[in-house]
């Protein structure tokens, strides 16, 4: 995927204040073509960009500082060394593990590693679990899901086949639906907590280094070698939630553990940012995909990451903090944050003065509305004090070389929100129709003028966007114009 500009996008499926699938970054690889008005007027990459945008992503490694080609495929079975007894029946193995699990729980309670559910305990005496699982998925869960037929295709034995493409032979890999589970490739699944669920055992929780290895597998091995992000997105989306939950449950405090947690959260955030761009299509990339849930998980990931930054201040180095603080600022374009600038002033000077943070603040101010009152209650709603309502500046900044690829992806979420505010101001400023109801020539605006103002790629996108707000296309002097009256 390359991006010659972050402008453009279709209007399908997006309304006021929402960002549903349908908007794309100009020049993306999903068939929408490139624009001659390239980003920075010079193509996809620019030597002036920061470290995180020095290479443009295909479905490659999600890593610190950007996207690079994945390393040579790693055989994860060699690392985990999972060798179950091949002579033991799966049902017998499951029964044995269930018996052992009850013994482990009793021993953990007796040793003070788990709280006794039968005995009340004060909050100050709460026990923080410490994970001991050295695999990406605990053995009990692996066998339980196999018995229940809940093994995902990404966790099954891979089949290899040689196919001829022209004069070349190419090896392709795939997993049959009826293939057996490949235990070294199984990753702990995320499941919502339900009433009656028992507390997870230490052997269910993965310690930080195993969680880091899990992220490396998901991003380097799985995504890096997948033909498309859509093919493995649902699996990675679910498994990264489980990674975050394991981090949260263990409440890490050691510097080395915090460093690992921050690295994992940063990579997970980049994954969600990229998927929000790459999978924002008029047609769902796969049936289970939910754009709003993807955006919600990015929000939660960034929130936890900011908390890690605050808790780790002065204890470890945080080289990527300015990058993600900038993403957070842009991600709040649609939210009223009256004390945003005050918050920025509390950050370390090297973070607050970073060019990426300053660019994000400029975008935030340019996109702010000076006409809409903001606040939780109508009686106390106020104007956004730092709003400039200069949407041309917003799109110009997004298109400039100061904005990285990923920051452009975050800004894209709010393109239609900014376009709606622009259109609203245009309509408010236009005089009303005469009582005759006939179009007034002064109400007619050329399509290409609005296309440039809204930063669309095509006239049809502009017409469709305006039509969703009841504005019609009129013919005037042989040209088609939008009636904004």
Element (H, E) at 2: none
pLDDT at residue 22, rounded to an integer: 37
Give residue 41's pLDDT band: very low, low, confident or very high (50, 70, 90): very low
- Tens of pLDDT along 277-297? 999 988 999 999 999 999 999
Torsion angles phi and psi, residue 412, rounded to 5: -60, -30
**Is the pLDDT confidence value at 7 over 70?**
no
Work out the angle between the directed axes of helices 229-250 and 208-216 (0-180°, nearest 10).
170
Q: How many residues does the chain have?
A: 485
Tell me the torsion sign for CA atoms 258, 263, 269, 271. negative
Q: Cα–Cα distance between 14 and 468 in angstroms, integer?
A: 9
Q: Region 341-354: what's the mean pLDDT?
A: 94
**Is the pLDDT confidence value at 439 over 60?**
no
Q: Region 354-379: what's the mean pLDDT?
A: 75
Query: Rounded to whole angstroms, what are the CA distances from 273 to 149, 278, 414, 415, 429?
Result: 32, 9, 13, 15, 36
Residue 127 half-sphere exposure, CB side, CA atoms within 13 Å?
Answer: 20
**Is the pLDDT confidence value at 446 over 60?**
yes
Q: Region 148-155: what's the mean pLDDT?
A: 94
Torsion angles phi and psi, residue 357, rounded to 5: -65, -40
**Is the pLDDT confidence value at 1 over 50?**
no
- Tens of pLDDT along 78-130? 445 565 555 689 999 999 999 999 999 999 999 889 888 888 888 888 889 99
pLDDT at residue 421, rounded to an integer: 86
**How far is C-alpha 257 from the chain's CA centre?**
23
Q: Cα–Cα distance between 336 and 334 in angstroms, integer?
A: 7
**Is the pLDDT confidence value at 209 over 60?**
yes
Tell me the torsion sign for CA atoms 310, 311, 315, 321. negative
Give residue 250's pLDDT band: very low, low, confident or very high (50, 70, 90): very high
| Cβ 227 vs Cβ 170: under 8 Å | no
Angle at the Cα of 39 from the Cα atoms of 68 and 354, rounded to 5 degrees: 70
**Is the pLDDT confidence value at 64 over 80?**
no
Torsion angles phi and psi, residue 238, rounded to 5: -70, -45
Range with the poorest average pLDDT among 36-50, 62-76, 300-314, 386-400: 36-50
Tell me which of 410 and 197 has the higher pLDDT.
410
**Is the pLDDT confidence value at 228 over 80?**
yes
Q: Cα–Cα distance between 302 and 413 in angstroms, integer?
A: 15
pLDDT at residue 84, rounded to an integer: 59
Q: Is 363 exposed, middle or buried (0-12, 13-18, 19+ CB in 10 A)?
A: buried
Query: Rounded to whole angstroms, what are the CA distances from 37 to 126, 379, 411?
Result: 59, 45, 18
**Is the pLDDT confidence value at 398 over 90?**
yes
Give residue 37's pLDDT band: very low, low, confident or very high (50, 70, 90): very low
Dihedral angle over CA of 296, 320, 131, 89, nearest 10: 70
Q: Cα–Cα distance between 374 and 337 in angstroms, integer?
A: 9
**Is the pLDDT confidence value at 142 over 90?**
yes
pLDDT at residue 166, rounded to an integer: 73
Mean confidence (pLDDT) of the chain: 79
Range with the poorest average pLDDT among 48-57, 95-104, 435-444, 455-464: 48-57
pLDDT at residue 75, rounded to an integer: 44
Question: In 323-376, where do the E strands start and end?
Answer: 373-374
pLDDT at residue 368, rounded to an integer: 75
Element (H, E) at 335: none
| Cβ 367 vs Cβ 414: under 8 Å | yes
The owner of tokens 């796969």 is 286
Q: Region 23-51: what's the mean pLDDT?
A: 37
**How far is C-alpha 194 from the chain's CA centre?**
26
Q: Region 141-165: what's the mean pLDDT?
A: 86
Report the range out of 192-206, 300-314, 366-380, 451-465 with the highest average pLDDT.
Answer: 300-314
Q: Sketch the domain layout of the chain as residue ranges.
A: 441-484
Predicted TM-score of the model (pTM)? 0.79
Torsion angles phi and psi, residue 332, rounded to 5: -100, 15
pLDDT at residue 197, rounded to an integer: 79
Element (H, E) at 379: none
**Is the pLDDT confidence value at 20 over 70?**
no
Selection from 29, 36, 15, 90 nearest residue 60 by Cα: 29
């Amino acid at each position: 995927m390359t991006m010659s500009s972050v402008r453009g996008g279709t209007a399908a499926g997006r309304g006021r204040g929402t960002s549903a699938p349908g908007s794309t970054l100009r020049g993306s690889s999903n068939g929408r073509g490139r624009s001659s008005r390239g980003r920075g007027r010079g193509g996809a990459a620019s030597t002036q960009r920061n470290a995180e945008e020095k290479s443009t992503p295909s479905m490659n490694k999600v890593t610190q500082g950007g996207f690079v080609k994945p390393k040579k495929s790693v055989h994860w079975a060699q690392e985990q060394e999972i060798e179950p007894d091949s002579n033991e029946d799966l049902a017998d193995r499951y029964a044995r593990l269930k018996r052992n699990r009850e013994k482990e729980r009793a021993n953990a309670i007796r040793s003070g590693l788990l709280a006794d559910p039968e005995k009340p305990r004060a909050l100050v005496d709460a026990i923080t679990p410490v994970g001991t699982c050295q695999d990406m998925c605990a053995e009990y869960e692996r066998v339980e899901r196999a018995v229940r037929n809940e093994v995902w295709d990404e966790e099954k034995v891979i089949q290899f086949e040689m196919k001829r493409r022209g004069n070349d032979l190419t090896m392709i890999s795939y997993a049959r639906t009826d293939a057996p589970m490949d235990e070294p490739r199984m990753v702990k699944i995320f499941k919502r907590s339900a009433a009656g669920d028992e507390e997870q055992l230490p052997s269910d929780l993965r310690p930080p280094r195993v969680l880091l290895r899990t992220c490396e597998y998901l991003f380097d091995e799985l995504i890096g070698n997948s033909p498309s992000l859509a093919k493995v997105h649902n699996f990675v989306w679910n498994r990264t939630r489980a990674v975050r939950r394991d981090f949260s449950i263990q409440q890490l405090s050691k510097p080395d553990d915090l460093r690992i947690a921050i690295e994992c959260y940063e990579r997970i955030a980049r994954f969600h940012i990229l998927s929000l761009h790459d999978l924002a299509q008029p047609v769902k990339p796969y049936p289970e995909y939910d754009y709003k849930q993807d955006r919600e998980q990015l929000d939660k990931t960034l929130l936890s990451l900011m908390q890690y930054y605050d808790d780790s201040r002065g204890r470890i180095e945080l080289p990527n903090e300015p990058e993600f603080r900038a993403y957070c600022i842009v991600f709040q374009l649609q939210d009223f944050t009256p004390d945003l600038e005050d918050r920025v002033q509390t950050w370390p000077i090297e973070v607050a003065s970073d060019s990426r943070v300053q660019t994000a603040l400029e975008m935030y101010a340019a996109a702010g509305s000076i006409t809409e009152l903001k606040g939780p209650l109508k009686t106390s709603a106020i104007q956004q004090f730092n709003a400039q309502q200069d949407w041309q500046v917003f799109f110009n900044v997004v298109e400039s070389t100061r904005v990285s690829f990923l920051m452009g992806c975050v800004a894209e979420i709010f393109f239609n929100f900014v376009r709606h505010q622009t259109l609203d101001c245009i309509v408010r400023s236009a005089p009303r129709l005469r009582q005759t109801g006939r179009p007034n020539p002064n109400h007619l605006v050329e399509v290409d003028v609005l296309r440039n103002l809204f930063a669309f790629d095509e006239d049809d996108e502009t017409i469709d966007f305006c039509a969703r707000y009841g504005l019609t296309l009129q013919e005037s002097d042989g040209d088609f114009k939008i009636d904004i009256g």
